[in-house]
Amino acid sequence: MGKTLIILKPDAIQRRLLGKLISRFEEKGFQIIGLKMIQISDALARKHYAIHEGKDFFEPLIRYMTSSPVIVMILKGKNVVEIARKMMGFAFGSKAEAGTIRGDYAVSNRFNLIHGSDSPASAEKEISIFFKKEELFEYNPTDLQWIYDMSTGDIV
């Protein structure tokens, strides 16, 4: 079972899409083990997006991410990074497939509603930036046997 960081960005907050977006992950079967609303500071945004520093979109990205509160959450599940990214869709809303979060709700290439970790290693790093260990809640959901094939005794 892996973990990933999801950020519902300022446009998701401003457009009142939080319930719709969170419910997609819950309906898929992922566990939410951390969830909070925060205002990302300039320093935190720069730390999180440091890989893009120097690119032409970096400063607009920082302004965007600090313009409004965001929701940060940690999802847990099998292949969660890969599946969550498929659910989010292509980074540019105008090019995202219908049926994905961005394909259904985004048209802008910059305001694209959601961030998700791009690898398990990135997820681990990003989770540590936004959450303290005591903010994570591990529990055993009762529906795992109905989400995953557990007929062999293992999650398949």
Which residues carry out catalysis?
115
Contact at 8 Å (CB) between 18 and 12?
yes
Query: Which residue, among 116, 90, 120, has the nearest Cα to 105 in the 3D structure?
Result: 90
* Alpha-carbon gap, residue 111 to 115, rounded angstroms: 11
Greatest alpha-carbon pair distance for the chain in Å reads: 51
Give the position of tokens 């566990």: 31
